[in-house]
Amino acid sequence: MSIRLGVPSKGRLMDKTFAWFAERGVEMRRTGSERDYGAEVAGADVELRLLSAGEIPRELASGRIHLGVTGSDLVQERIPAWDQAVEVVAQLGFGHADLIVAVPNCWVDVSTLDDLDAAAAQFRQRHGHRLRIATKYHRLVRDFLREAGVADYRLVDSQGATEGTVAHGTAEAIADITSTGETLRANHLRILDDGLIHRSEATLFRARGATWDDAARAALADFYEKLGLD
């Protein structure tokens, strides 16, 4: 039995993933056009599947793939009790981005999560409804704010340009991924001093719930040896 490996299907993430494996002597290559998503791993008992970065956590959690490369933010957001469902095999050193909480520059008295909590309470008293925080990362943000003791807010879903929601009046603050901070600054937003939720990175994960019979374990051990992994 071969093992199934899911990697990002396009763009810089795919290119950097292929390069990471190639640097360790494992060649990945496409076998057809960009539309048919065919691909293979040369010289290894591995079935390569090109998937969107967002699909890979679901496939790992279901056990339909044995290994997967995707952002750690997506795994932690989309897989409940993620550390019980998957194991971190290796951090790949690219795809870095920070999940953060940001507020408008004009909130001069709001620099920390404690300040945000106080501002949220005042906002509810003044407006009669809870302060809105726009995000795509409901699980991670909710857990982070709960641990920080922030109350009187509600999360609103944003599947588009989250940084623009404050300017458009659909949220008062945001929690989103940022790499350079340039888009935040362009939208007159700033990160809270203690507003870092998660530092994300492209990561190779192993699915604990996949079928790990003797053949799969042997294929995995051989693959790890080729990569120089323990």
**pLDDT at residue 27 is higher than 80:** yes
Distance, in Å, from the CA atom of 74 to the CA atom of 222, rounded to the nearest integer, reads 28
* pLDDT reported for residue 78: 97
Same domain, 124 and 193: yes
- Mean pLDDT in residue range 32-47: 79
63 sits in the region (left: phi over 0; alpha: psi -120 to 50; else beta) called left
Contact status, residue 31 vs residue 39, Cβ threshold 8 Å:
yes
| Cα(212)–Cα(33) distance, integer angstroms | 32
Range of the domain at 221: 3-95+201-227
> Band of the pLDDT at 33, cuts 50, 70, 90?
low
User: Which pLDDT band holds residue 107 (cuts at 50, 70, 90)?
Assistant: very high
At 113-165, the pLDDT tens digits run 999 999 999 999 999 999 999 999 999 999 999 999 999 999 999 988 999 99
Collapsing DSSP states into helix, strand and coil, what is residue 199?
strand
* CATH code where residue 188 lies: 3.40.190.10
Backbone angles phi, psi at 65, to 5 degrees: -125, 150
pLDDT of residue 10 exceeding 80: yes
User: Does one domain contain both 157 and 214?
Assistant: no
Q: Are residues 24 and 103 in the same domain?
A: no
pTM of the model: 0.92
In sequence order, the 6+-apart residues with CB closer than 8 A to the CB of 165 are 134, 156, 158, 171, 174
Residues 16 and 65 both lie in one domain = yes
| Tally of domains in the chain | 2
Does 141 lie in the same domain as 222? no
The rounded percent of the chain whose pLDDT value lies above 70 is 97
Query: Where does 120-210 show beta strands of DSSP type E?
Result: 131-135, 153-157, 173-178, 189-200, 202-207
Q: Can you tell me the distance from the alpha carbon of 123 to that of 107, in angstroms, rounded to the nearest whole number? A: 12
Do residues 101 and 36 share a domain?
no
Overall average pLDDT of the 51-67 stretch: 96
CA distance 78 to 137: 9
**In this predicted model, which residue has the larger pLDDT, 207 or 37?**
207
| One domain for residues 172 and 212 | no
Domain shared by 110 and 189, yes or no: yes
Both structure tokens of 25 = 């002597």
Residues 46, 122: one domain?
no
pLDDT in tens, 169-178: 999 999 999 9
pLDDT surpasses 90 at 207: yes
